[in-house]
Structure 1
Amino acid sequence: MFSNDNNVETIAQLVEVLKQYIGLRAEYLKLDVIEKVVRLLTVIAIVVTFTTVLLISLIYLSFSAVYALQPLVESLTIAFLIVGGAYLFLLIVFILLRHQLIERPLVRFLAGILMSK
């Protein structure tokens, strides 16, 4: 009464469609993960490149600042100490404000990439 050839074929088609759907969802999930990983790697590469160029520029600018200060303070050593002290001050400020400057923007960025649909 409940099982005839039409019902069995319909259930078999339903199972086949369900298998195909699950396979497509798994493929979509893989592609979504790959897209997010590629976006993260791209951002990491850009940040590393930008940071490297910035640090190299900062070294040259520091030497320029030292040699510009040297006539004012009459000693090259004191000029180097002034520039070094300025960098030490910036490091302390950066450490004190690391939550606002690094952690929060990084969490927002990663959440935006990983939680996006």
Structure 2
Amino acid sequence: MFSNDNNVETIAQLVEVLKHYIGLQSEYVKLDVIEKVVRLITALTVVAVFCLLLVFALIFFSFAMVNILAPALNSLSMAYTLVGGFYILLLIIFIIFRHRLVERPLVKFLAGLLMSK
């Protein structure tokens, strides 16, 4: 009963279809990984460019603020100290709220990117 040529041919076709399906699934997984890596690299590049431009803007705004404060304080060094102190204060605030400002959004972004289907 099991040695019928029709049954053997059907099983052979099933094996071929299964092999083809497994090949397609592996290609799909590869393409999915590539898509996620490209999206991650794109996001990192955009953030890097944004941060770099922000740093340049902050440098110029800092010099402008020093030039504005220097006449009011009658001291150029005091104006630089005040602007530097402001940046130290921003750094302390950033360190205190780093979980809320950096870690949570980053975890949400990566989880959404890597766990999406």
TM-score by length of 1: 0.99
> Residue 107 of structure 1 aligns with which residue?
107
| Deviation, structure 1 residue 2 | 1.8
Instruction: Report sequence identity in percent.
Output: 64
> Residue 9 of structure 2 aligns with which residue?
9
SS where residue 3 of structure 1 aligns?
coil
> Residue 86 of structure 1 aligns with which residue?
86
CA distance in 1, matches of 2:99, 2:45: 23
> Residue 53 of structure 1 aligns with which residue?
53
CA distance in 1, matches of 2:33, 2:114: 9
> Residue 71 of structure 1 aligns with which residue?
71
> Residue 38 of structure 1 aligns with which residue?
38
TM superposition outliers: structure 1 runs of 4+ over 3 Å: none
For the pair 1:29 / 2:29, whether they are aligned, the reply is yes
| Deviation, structure 1 residue 26 | 0.1
Q: Which amino acid aligns with 1:84?
A: G
Output the aligned Cα RMSD: 0.5
How many residues are paired up? 117
CA distance in 1, matches of 2:63, 2:5: 87
TM-score by length of 2: 0.99
